[in-house]
Amino acid sequence: MSMAPPENGDQRHLVIVGAGCAGVELAFSARSGGWIGPITLLGDEGLQPYHRPPLSKGYLAGEAVLETLHLKTKEAYAKARIGYLGSARVLAVDRPGRAVHIADGTRLGYDKLAFATGGRARRLPCCNDVPHATNVFYLRTIADVDQIRAMFTQGKRLAIIGGGYVGLEVAAVARKMGLDVTVMEAAPRVLARVTAPEISAFYERVHRDAGVRLLTGFQVGDFVLSGDKSRVEGIEGGDGLCIDCDLVIVGIGLTPETDLAAAAGISVDDGILVREDMLTSDEDVLAIGDCTRFESKLYGRSLRLESVPNALEQARQAAATLCGKPTRPESVPWFWSDQYDLQLKMVGLSQGYDRVVMRGSASENSFSAFYVQGERVLAVDTVNRPLEFMLSKKLVGERLRVDWECLADDGVPLKTLLSTAAVA
Ligand code: FAD
């Protein structure tokens, strides 16, 4: 559903809660799409809105300075007439009164409201027992990384809990900086939730070759504390193994930030529930980005995605809805991760595949893995193959059917295969 398009002199106020990439994209897309009235973007990190992915990559490594992380320049906000309040934590939403309550006591009225509240790092249950430890970190914000970086010096013993993307990216940076790194993963392999065993095995080999101590099937037991309980000095595994450490980084996923919406009576179920037009259970309230859950027509099930491309797509859809434009087709999810000199780009969701077809050479760090279900390619992981990634977007998005034996033949260009492919 789309809304009535804005008309001349329309002074409806759009308020966006959360100034990550979803909130910022919505503000600018709504303005360029024809929203005439005031737009206010509310953030709570006290900073100019920034790109989050470099936090576990170039920014952690000290290769990228803060200014290069900004999503937009200050001038761009002024030019687009977007009011940005960077220290404006929203505490409550009064839907009958159509207003938000900000922590400084301000009450701000809205006509249309969008939640772009993202998520917070999932807490490790046992960390609640060590609330005062000064060397246990989560990694979600610039403030987190600034603290971590101060402790990132050569020879420090870093324990990373969680072998997902963030944990592995941090491990890669830390090894380059000369830290002694141990990664602890509870599952039997890294990246188990999102990739095939072949890809997990590849990344495990790469990290071990780089000197990372990688412990899979490792259940975190007790933390060994210093005498004054101010520091974690070791992490005990279920099997009695103890990993000594100087600092700990926990990367075990994300909890969507839905409390505000739930307290306002908006439907929430592990994510703010949105329709394809990004409207919530309230017709005047939208939600976008990491905080949402939606019914995917492409995958026939409910999804909650944590990625920049999804946040941007949903923001553009929300802007289209607000500006009375047609609903955009659902786009295929994609994601990237940089570790060492490996650029992993993934398109589609692989759950439910019955065969993995490998193409290229894992030993030369250049290959693609195709997740096939029947005749349909559900998803593709590409490592250092940007052209195959671009073509794979088409392959997955348009549900093209290709002969999987040809797919495995690196001598036949993927482009040639696609040109003769039929729809599955
Ligand atoms: P967020 O970026 O979480 O922004 C939400 C904002 O809302 C935050 O600033 C939050 O403080 C604010 N907020 C929340 N509640 C309130 C409130 N009540 N009042 C005011 N403000 C509020 N994705 C990729 O695609 N590729 C990558 O390589 C990649 N790497 C990543 C590396 C790291 C270390 C992290 C943490 C994430 C990474 N991601 C990556 C995920 C990606 O950053 C997120 O999917 C994306 O940031 C989601 O954008 P968002 O705007 O929905 O949420």
Q: What is residue 71's predicted lDDT score, i.e. its pLDDT? A: 98
Is residue 277 scored above 70 in pLDDT? yes
pLDDT of 403 higher than 90: no
Average pLDDT on 376-390 reads 95
**Which residue has the CA at smallest separation from atom 15 of ligand 1?**
117
State which ligand 1 atom lies nearest to the alpha carbon of 288. 52
Question: How many Cβ atoms sit within 10 Å of the Cβ of residue 203?
Answer: 25
Ligand 1 pocket test: pick from 16, 52, 148, 344 the residue with the most ligand atoms within 8 Å of its Cβ: 52
Residue range 15-43: mean pLDDT, rounded: 98
How many angstroms is it from 165 CA to the middle of ligand 1? 15
Closest atom of ligand 1 to CA, residue 49: 9
Question: Binning pLDDT at 50, 70 and 90, where does residue 276 land?
Answer: very high
Tell me how far the alpha carbon of residue 407 lies from the centroid of ligand 1, in angstroms. Answer: 36
Greater confidence, 379 or 418?
379
Reported for 305-313, long-range contacts at CB under 8 A and 24+ positions apart, including other chains, are 305/333, 306/119, 306/254, 307/333, 307/334, 307/335, 308/21, 308/51, 308/52, 308/53, 309/333, 309/334, 309/335, 311/20, 311/21, 311/22, 311/25, 311/116, 312/21, 312/22, 312/25
Considering only CA atoms, which residue is closest to atom 33 of ligand 1? Answer: 53
* pLDDT digits 0-9 by tens, 220-274: 988 999 988 889 999 999 778 999 999 999 999 999 999 999 999 999 999 999 9
Give percent above pLDDT 90 in the chain.
82
- Token pair recorded at residue 76: 């761009």
133 confidence band (pLDDT: 50, 70, 90): confident
Tell me the CA–centroid distance for residue 169 and ligand 1, in Å: 17
pLDDT higher than 90, residue 401:
no
Instruction: Report pLDDT digits (tens) over 32-54.
Output: 999 999 999 999 999 999 999 99
Nearest CA to ligand 1 atom 53: 118
Pocket residues: Cβ below 6 A from ligand 1: 17-23, 42-45, 52-53, 55-56, 89-90, 116-119, 139-140, 166, 257, 260, 289-290, 306-309, 311, 335-337
Instruction: For residues 387-409, give the mean pLDDT.
Output: 89
Report the candidate in 263, 284, 258, 260 with the shortest Cα–Cα distance to residue 273.
258
For residues 154 and 298, which has the higher predicted lDDT (pLDDT)? 154
Backbone torsions φ then ψ of 160, nearest 5 degrees: -110, 125
Q: Whose CA is nearest to atom 44 of ligand 1?
A: 307
How confident is the model at residue 424, as a pLDDT? Answer: 63
Nearest CA to ligand 1 atom 24: 307
The answer on pLDDT for 370 being more than 80 is yes
Q: Is the pLDDT of residue 1 over 60?
A: no
Residues of the chain with CATH 3.30.390.30: 341-423
* Shortest-distance atom of ligand 1 to CA 335: 25
- In this structure, what token pair is assigned to residue 67? 């200014």
Encode pLDDT of 279-293 as tens digits: 999 999 999 999 999
Cα of 21 from ligand 1 centre, angstroms: 7
Position 181 confidence tier, pLDDT thresholds 50, 70, 90: very high
Checking if the pLDDT of 83 tops 80, the result is yes
- Whether 140 and 20 have beta carbons less than 8 Å apart is answered as no
Query: Tell me, what's the pLDDT at 131?
Result: 62
Centre of ligand 1 from the C-alpha of residue 408, in Å: 36
Stretch 6-21: mean pLDDT, rounded?
A: 90
**How far, in Å, from the CA of 50 to the mean position of ligand 1?**
9
Distance CA 331, CA 390 (A): 14
* CB-based burial, 386-419: b 16+ in 10 Å, e otherwise: eebbebbbebbbebbebeeebbeeeeeebeebee
Ligand 1 center to 276 CA (angstroms): 21
Averaged pLDDT of the chain: 94
Domain 123-252 is classified in which CATH homologous superfamily? Answer: FAD/NAD(P)-binding domain (3.50.50.60)
User: Ligand 1 centroid vs 236 CA: distance in angstroms?
Assistant: 31
Cα 413 to middle of ligand 1, angstroms: 37
Distance 234 CA to ligand 1 centre (A): 30
Which atom, in ligand 1's list, is nearest to the CA of 334? Answer: 25
Q: What is the pLDDT of residues 321-354, one digit of tens each?
A: 999 999 989 999 999 999 999 999 999 999 999 9
Q: Which CATH architecture has domain 14-120+255-322?
A: 3-Layer(bba) Sandwich (3.50)
Residues 78-93 have a mean pLDDT of: 98
The DSSP bridge pattern shows strands 242-244 and 232-237 to be antiparallel
For ligand 1, atom 4: residue with the closest CA: 20
Tokens 């409550």 sit on residue: 92
DSSP string, 272-288: EEE-TT-B-SSTTEEE-
Q: What atom of ligand 1 comes closest to residue 260's alpha carbon?
A: 18
Lowest mean pLDDT, pick from 47-56, 163-172, 368-377: 368-377
pLDDT above 70 as % of the chain: 97
Q: How confident is the model at residue 128 (pLDDT cuts 50, 70, 90)?
A: low
Specify the domain boundaries for CATH 3.50.50.60 within the chain: 14-120+255-322, 123-252
- The pTM of this model reads 0.95
Cα separation values, 332 from 89, 273, 278, 329, 383, Å: 33, 19, 16, 10, 19
- d(CA 78, ligand 1 centre) in Å: 23
Q: What is the pLDDT of residue 322?
A: 97
Q: Which CATH class is domain 341-423?
A: alpha beta
